[in-house]
């Protein structure tokens, strides 16, 4: 099927006008009066466990919970490739990395290929993006584009606005992105044209610098340690080799210890593959500190002083790992709090302006993240914490509030879902499935029962994570490591071992499951056109 951008304008208009009446609303029985607006909210590295709609064991996120309370929470949402830019490419194209070309953070992405924002733009939507894009080029089909350069900075960031690089803007990045999004929403509220906004946050990506207003009292917060914080990685050689342990974090960049308290940073920070990389990365924090205005630096001074003094008291003791974990969680969850606060600003405006009823609101992350499980931070592995991602969808015209779905869904499903809800035809070669059949809370009999995963980045790169692929069903997961020196399979029973501590690939009781999953993996590779 042709993408809409290939159609002549007159034919496109006729096609849009010939779609017939809007479908009757399945929840209320009413008929929506106009095509829905779309706000697609995405954060970076946000673990499910750091959203209280999923669990309140770590934090409260009352504004994000409003999306789940008013719509559907997906309990089993997964990514195709757990790393930032490839995940974004998969979302935009509804295709796995091997087809959209973005296999890792360094590989190129073809900006001329089909993406759902351009399809919506060509179908008459006003489209925009604010925040982190991370695919290097200014995308086609956006009316307004104000994006960070690469990862961006937490304070006083530099934005690219419709192709022009601006001077640094004073402020906290999460709030600034929201300011720009609200300006766009105010413009949209005055127009009858439907809109689609990508409202994409940098936070809570590393190096987790909280807003100055969240610093008071932050160092007094305490969080429960995961039971496998001190994992010994028995039976999992690829996990044992990875450089992403909290015990090896930079005490500077990651934990905020200044040189006057630790002149020689002992951390590796995931950069052990790179000659002199650990030194370079350890200096990153001081470049961030230098970006602060005098007022911002003054707000950080007492915080940094106490952090340095605490470090000196725990360094080299039995308490050091526990202190590192708490320091990490304090900053990570404070970064999440700012996302929650600012999403609340957007939700408030939707309600105050009358836009809420006919606006689809999606919240997700480009992948999950380790919050101390297996002793880790970061992502990349197919283990649950980084393979999973939060997903909540609110759309009053179609979804009853407070509903949930346990179906296996993926980030490539979002594009076809939005196109269907907007009444826009999707190309036949998309690999995702529209989520709309799940909106009534029942999983159709023909819904997918397994999902395929692939991580491409070579181990001789950040965090030393071995290349692998795998398949996951409701209960069992098979991971195939393909990195030379680490070749082999891992098999997990997620019902009996949800933390994936016991590799049962050689368990005689699971021979049938192993063979079944190996067959499933071969068949999914063929179905998805994986050739290498």
Place 23 in a pLDDT band, splitting at 50, 70 and 90. Answer: very low
Tens of pLDDT, residues 153-189 = 999 999 999 999 999 999 999 999 999 999 999 999 9
Say yes or no to pLDDT of 8 above 90: no
Query: What burial letters (b/e) apply to 9-22, b meaning 16+ CB within 10 Å?
Result: eeebeeebeeeeee
pLDDT at 463 over 80: yes
What are φ and ψ of residue 138, in 5° steps?
Answer: -80, 120
pLDDT digits (tens, 9 = 90+) for 356-370: 999 999 999 999 999
Q: Which CATH number fits domain 452-527: 3.40.190, 3.30.1120, 3.30.420, 3.40.50?
A: 3.30.1120
Domain with CATH 3.40.720.10 in the chain: 38-104+113-207+332-433
State the burial class of residue 143 (Cβ atoms within 10 Å of its Cβ: 0-12, 13-18, 19+): middle
Q: Tell me the pTM.
A: 0.93
pLDDT attached to residue 17: 36
Is residue 515 a contact partner of residue 521, using CB atoms and an 8 Å limit? no
For residue 525, pLDDT beyond 90: yes
Average pLDDT of the residues in 285-301:
96
| Cα separation, 86 vs 107, whole angstroms | 9
Distance of CA 179 to the CA centre of its chain: 21
pLDDT exceeds 50 at position 413: yes
30 vs 172 pLDDT, higher one: 172
pLDDT digits (tens, 9 = 90+) for 55-76: 999 999 999 999 999 999 999 9
Query: pLDDT per residue over 485-521, tens digit each?
Result: 999 999 999 999 999 999 999 999 999 999 999 999 9
The token duo for 514 is 């192993």
Q: Is the pLDDT of residue 9 over 90?
A: no
Mean pLDDT of all residues in 258-271: 94
Residue ranges, comma separated, of all CATH 3.30.1120 domains in the chain are 452-527
What length is written for the chain?
Answer: 532
For the segment 124-152, the average pLDDT, to the nearest whole number, is: 94
Give mean pLDDT, residues 284-294. 94
Residue 349 has pLDDT above 90, yes or no: yes
Q: What pLDDT score was predicted for residue 323?
A: 98
**In 10 A of CB 254, how many CB atoms?**
27
pLDDT-derived band of residue 280, with 50, 70 and 90 as boundaries?
A: confident
Judged by average pLDDT, the poorest of 3-7, 262-266, 278-282, 502-506 is 3-7
User: What are the φ/ψ torsions at residue 136 (nearest 5 degrees)?
Assistant: 70, -35
Q: Which CATH number fits domain 38-104+113-207+332-433: 3.40.720.10, 3.40.50.300, 1.10.30.50, 1.10.3210.10?
A: 3.40.720.10
CA angle 322, 336, 106 (to 5 degrees): 90
Q: 381 or 277: which carries more pLDDT confidence?
A: 381
Q: Does position 371 have pLDDT exceeding 80, yes or no?
A: yes
What's the rounded mean pLDDT across residues 109-131? 97
Given this model, what pLDDT does residue 12 score? 35
Band the pLDDT of 30: cuts 50, 70, 90: very low
């Amino acid at each position: 099927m042709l993408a809409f951008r290939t159609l002549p304008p007159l034919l496109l208009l006729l096609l849009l006008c010939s779609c017939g009446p809007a479908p009757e609303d399945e929840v209320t029985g009413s008929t929506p009066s106009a095509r829905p607006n779309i706000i697609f909210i995405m954060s970076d590295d946000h673990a499910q466990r750091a959203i209280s709609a999923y669990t309140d064991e770590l934090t409260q996120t009352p504004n994000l919970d409003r999306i789940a309370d008013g719509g559907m929470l997906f309990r089993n949402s997964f990514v195709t490739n757990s790393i930032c830019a490839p995940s974004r490419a998969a979302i935009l194209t509804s295709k796995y990395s091997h087809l959209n070309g973005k296999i890792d953070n360094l590989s190129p992405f073809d900006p001329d290929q089909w993406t759902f924002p351009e399809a919506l733009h060509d179908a008459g939507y006003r489209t925009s993006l604010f925040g982190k894009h991370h695919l290097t080029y200014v995308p086609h089909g956006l009316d307004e584009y104000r994006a960070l350069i690469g990862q961006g900075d937490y304070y006083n960031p530099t934005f690219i606005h419709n192709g022009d690089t601006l001077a640094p803007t004073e402020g906290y990045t999460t709030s600034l992105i929201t300011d720009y999004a609200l300006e766009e929403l105010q413009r949209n509220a005055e127009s009858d044209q439907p809109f689609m906004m990508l409202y994409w946050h940098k936070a809570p990506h590393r190096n987790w610098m909280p807003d100055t207003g969240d610093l008071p009292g932050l160092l007094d917060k305490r969080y429960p340690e995961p039971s496998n914080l001190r994992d010994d990685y028995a039976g999992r050689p690829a996990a044992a080799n990875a450089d992403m342990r909290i015990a090896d974090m930079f005490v500077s960049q990651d934990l905020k210890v200044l040189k006057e308290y630790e002149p020689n940073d002992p951390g590796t920070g995931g950069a052990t593959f790179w000659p002199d990389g650990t030194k370079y990365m350890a200096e990153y924090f001081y470049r961030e500190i230098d970006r602060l205005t005098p007022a911002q630096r003054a707000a950080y001074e007492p915080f940094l002083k106490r952090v340095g003094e605490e470090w000196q008291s725990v360094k080299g003791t039995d308490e050091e790992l526990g202190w590192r974990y708490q320091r990490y969680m304090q900053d990570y969850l404070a970064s999440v709090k700012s996302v929650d606060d600012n999403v609340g600003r957007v939700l408030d405006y939707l309600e105050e302006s009358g836009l809420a009823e006919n606006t689809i609101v999606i919240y997700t992350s480009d992948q999950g993240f380790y919050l101390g499980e297996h002793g880790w931070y970061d992502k990349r592995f197919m283990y649950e914490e980084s393979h999973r991602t939060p997903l909540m969808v609110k759309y009053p015209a179609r979804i009853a509030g407070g509903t949930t779905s346990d179906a296996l869904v993926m980030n490539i499903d979002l594009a076809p879902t939005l196109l269907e809800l907007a009444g826009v035809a999707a190309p036949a070669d998309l690999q995702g499935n529209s989520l709309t059949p799940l909106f009534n809370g029942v999983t159709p009999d023909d819904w997918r029962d397994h999902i395929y995963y692939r991580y491409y980045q070579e181990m001789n790169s950040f965090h030393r994570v071995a290349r692998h692929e795998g398949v996951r069903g409701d209960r069992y997961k098979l991971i195939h490591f393909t990195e030379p020196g680490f070749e082999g399979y891992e098999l997990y029973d997620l019902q009996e071992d949800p933390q994936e501590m016991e590799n049962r690939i050689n368990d005689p009781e699971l021979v049938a499951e192993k063979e079944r999953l190996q067959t499933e993996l071969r068949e999914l590779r063929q179905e998805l056109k994986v050739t290498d």
